Amino acid sequence: MILPVTIGILVAGAVYLMMQRGMVRIVFGFALLSHAANLMLLSAGVTHWRGEPLGGYGTTAEQADPLPQAFVLTAIVITLAVTVFMLALAVIGHNDDTKRMPDTGEKHDR
C-alpha cells in the first residue's frame, strides 16, 4: 500500500508544480513525475522485497526480478540528462516566463 500512495502523492505534486508558470518549478515537477514513473517500474517487479538478484545469492525463487531495476537505472540516467538540459534552458531564458524577453538586438518578423 505504501508504494501506490507514494506514487499518487508524487504525481499530485508533479501536476501541481507543472501547472505553475516558472520554468524551475516545472523542472521540479518533472523530477517528481519521473520519480513516480520509476517507482511504478519498481513496483512491477520488486513489490515483495525479495533478495538481491545476484548470481550465487539464493535461488531464483527468492530473488527479485532484475529487469525493472535495469529499466529504472536507464530511466534515471535519461531523466538526469533532460533535467540538466531543462535547467540550462531555465537559466538561459533569464526568467522570461514572468518578465519580458531581454533585448538581444535580434529582430523577428512578427
Residues that bind other proteins (CB under 8 A): 18, 23, 26, 30, 33-34, 36-37, 40-41, 43-45, 67-68, 71, 74-75, 78, 81-82, 85-86, 89, 92-93, 96, 101-102, 104, 106-110
Nearer to other proteins, 52 or 77 (CB): 77
Taking the complex as a whole, how short is the minimal distance between the CB of residue 54 and other proteins, in angstroms?
17
Contact 69, 46 (CB under 8 A): yes
Shortest gap between Cβ of 34 and other proteins (angstroms)? Answer: 6
Taking residue 53's Cβ as centre, other Cβ atoms within 10 Å add up to 18
Give the nearest distance from C-beta 51 to other proteins in angstroms: 19
Q: Which amino acid is at 24?
A: V
**Residue whose C-alpha cell is 533532460:** 82
Name which of 59 and 108 has its Cβ closer to other proteins: 108
Nearer to other proteins, 12 or 44 (CB): 44
Distance CA 39, CA 5 (A): 11
> Among residues 30 and 63, whose Cβ is nearest to other proteins?
30
Instruction: Give the separation between CA 14 and CA 92, rounded to whole angstroms.
Output: 23
Cα 101 to Cα 10: distance, rounded to the nearest angstrom: 33
